[in-house]
Structures are given as structure tokens and as C-alpha cells.
Structure 1
Amino acid sequence: MQELIEKSQDTGMEIDTIIGDTAYSEKNSIRYTKEHQLTLISKLHPHITHGTRSKEDEFEFNKDAGMYVCKAGHMAVRKKYEERKGQDKNPRIKYLFDIKKCQVCPFREGCYKEGAKSKTYSVTIKSTEHKDQEVFQNTVAFKELAKTRYKIEAKNSELKHRHGYDIASSAGLFGMEIQGATAIFAVNLKRILKLLHEKE
């Protein structure tokens, strides 16, 4: 998100509000927008609003995969829900990591116990460490701005279904970059022509 904002500002664009899906509500994004006095319209993921996380600086949640990633960049291989009935404890989600990777990981000290047969990371589902954003997302102002997000999805749909941005037409990253740049250029050009026509 930070890179997208700074690239846009480098072109001369003035930004005061960012609207996006839950992928934009990560801790670093919230901190960045606060530091730069920007408004972030992005709902927190339910795993965050309904639970606290320990070791948050070491494990980050990947919204698209629905899994946690450790500081070495290894993603959990599976997860399981533990209701913990009769223990007077809140339910939690336990994420399990590939033990073979943990055994040779350069960050294993203090994270992986030598000889352990498993490596897990648990999230207790009870409260949130993103209190400010949670309070904000329940305000009328947030909800009104969030209603405009459909425009972004509509533009994505146009790129994919009208301009072939849903399937790569050539192999390699460079080919995909050219395809993306061409599709986005065409859509932007259509928008510019429409705006010019409306001014006449």
C-alpha cells in the first residue's frame, strides 16, 4: 500500500483517503496512514476483530491465503479450530507449520524448541489489538465511504472481462507487465475521453 501511495504522489496526485479490502488493514498500513494523516477505509479481518494475537511482530496474517507467515517467510501449512470446552478459555485457531523448515530455520532460536515434533502458532478469538481502526470502521463516516468501494471492483471487472486482464496472454513477468500496462492504459484513456466529453 505504501508503495502505491508514494508512486501516486510522485505523479502529483494528492491523496487524503485510501479505500480497499481487508488486505489493506494490516498493522503497518494502519500505522503508515496515521503517521501521514491519511484516512484508511479498510475493514479489519474478522480474525483480528474477534481475537488478540501474541507475537504479532513475528507472525503476520496473509489475508489471501488465510494463513499466518513467520518472520522467515514460511507460511503455515494448515490450521485447526479449537473450541476448548470445559477449560474456561476462549476458542482459538491453531496454525501448524512445516516442521522440517523450522528445524533448519535461522530464526528457530526462541521460536522452535529443539526436538519438538510440531510448530504451531495460536490465535485466541476474543478481542482486538486494532482498537482505533475497529472503532472507526463502526462510524457513519467510514460506512458511507466504504459504500464507494464498488467503483474499484467495477474497474477491476472492466480490466478483466473487457480488456483481457484475467488471463496472461504471454509467458514471463515482463510479458505480464506489458499486458497489464496496455490494459490499464486503454481503460485510463477511455476514462479521460469520457471526462473530456462531459466538459464539452
Structure 2
Amino acid sequence: MIQRQETLVLSPYLELYNLVVPKNNMLRQINELVDFSFVYEELKENYCLYNGRNAIDPIRMFKYLLLKTIFQLSDEDIVERSKYDMSFKYFLGMAPEDPVVDSSSLTKFRKLRLKNLNLLDLLIQKTVEIALEKGIIQSQAIIVDSTHTKARYNQRSPREILQDRSRKLRKAVYKADESLKDQLPTKNTNDVLEDEIAYCQGLIGVIEAKGGICALPKIKEPLNLLKETITDDLEHLRISEDQDAMVGHKSANSSFFGYKTHIAMTEERMITAAVVTTGEKNDGKSKERYKIEARNSELKHRHGYDVASSSGLVGMELQGAIAIFTVNLKRILKLMK
């Protein structure tokens, strides 16, 4: 059952936020800039309004996804950081002592609560409304171009992806403690995907059983990435490589396998429209390419838009919606200074 987010609960520790989350903190500024109540109206059709247990607040869940995009972290790492980062808890509308969600809830939220939504148009429209309200958009000209995103599984098989990620995890473990090499499970040597998945699950189990070593960042990050690949994309792994992705061309001599996002942008570098397509679609022609290239670079290098975070066109549209929402909000904050 959906419930509206309450104001911060009464807590003797709320004053901590005024001490440790300064007014120029980006997350505080976003909270003050955006009225996130629109999330309720857009998501209510995907919740039961009257029966069942109370669902985790949808605004909080949406903000978790926003944090994930801003800081380029896995579900598990974003939840872990929200346990101790006071700016995260403040942004999420939590009291300092409140418990965080289980990372598996984020997967369910993406798959069950965000389905059948035109989130890309919705979030762009929201940022454009804010920009107009703040008097930021003054120009009439629109710059049109596209940016490419490589498919998560590229043109390698799902088994090869799992092999690559388990290899990186083993390498990190060996560097930390070479004595563990003999304790890890024997690598899978056949071409059966289910056997490769089983091997990866066994590898994860052995490493997690070692306790303290999992806390090392150089092990924790590849470990969480491998876990998320298995749990979040298990059905995609069993289907095959990304079936929506297509071969496209960046130039006459350069190609890629994935998707294109066709972007319209004002001279103030606010993205006002975007369409996600498969990679073979033609590019738009930009007259002020340096401006849109700067925005494309930010999307890719700061917010993970160079590689798809999941399989399929629907997942790519969700990734684009959150990433563009993020860069537009950051641009508004910069132009307001």
C-alpha cells in the first residue's frame, strides 16, 4: 500500500543536519529546488492504494535511484553509504538514526513501480518547468545531436560477461590475500550459462564467508558488481546478449554496439527533450556541437551513461531519464549561483 512521505520524524538528533550538511551541499540544494511530490502522482497506478502492508515511501526509493546515478554506485554500495553519510540521509528524508532499505528493494522498485511510465519525458519536463520558473531559459534556439551508449553486454555472450567480472573479483582478492587462492571454487570450464552462474554464486559465497576482506573497497566494488549482475539481470543473462542493442556508427570508421540518445538542448545547456533509440538510427545535425558535446561528456563520464546499466531499450530509457534529470538539476543549480 502506498503511503505519503511524512516530514522528518521527531528525533533528538535532527539538529545534526544543520551541523554536517552545509547550505552549499548539492543534495541539500536539490531538496530545496525540487518538489518531489510529483513522484506520488506518477507512481500511484503501480501501487495498491488501500490493501496490504505499507510500501517503502516512493519518493525515498526514487531518491535512492537518483543518488545511484549521481555517485555511480551499485545498489548495495549506495544503501551502505546511506547508513553513515548524513547528506544522504538528509536527502532521503530520514532521521539520522533511521534504518536504510535492503538493496534488493531497489531492484523491485525499478521493475515493478516504474513500469509503463514515460519517465524520460516526465523528468525532463519537470526540470524544464523549474528552469523556466527560475528564469534560466532565455534562448529560443535549440541544438540537436545524439550520443551513443554501449550495451551492457556488448557483443560478448552473457557467460563471457560473468567470466570477466568474476576474473576481476579474483584478481582483487589475490592482491589482498594470495593465500585465499586455494580456497576459491574451481572455475567453470564448460559453455553452459547456468554452470557459470552457479560458479559465480559459489565464488561470492566463499569470499563473503571470509568476513573482513569484503570490507576492502578494492574487493567490495567488484564483488557487489558481480552480485548485482546475477541478481538484477538474471533473466537477461538466461535469455542471451542484449537483443535490443544494435550496431551504430560514431564516424565512417568507428562503430559501436548499443543505443543512441537523441538530445535537444537550449543554448543554456538545458536538455529539453530526448529520445532513446537503438544504435543504428541516424544522428541529428548540431550547429553548436561543442556545447552539446560538453553535456554528453558529463552524462557519460560523471553519471555512467557511456555503458548501459541493464539490458533492453526500456532499461536504457530509465537510465537516460535519471541521468538527464541529474545533469539538468546540476545545471540549474550552477546557473542560479
- TM superposition score category, shorter chain reference: under 0.3
TM-score, length basis structure 1: 0.26
TM-score by length of 2: 0.16
- Structure with greater proportional helix content: 2
Which protein has greater RCO, CA pairs closer than 8 Å, 6+ apart? 2
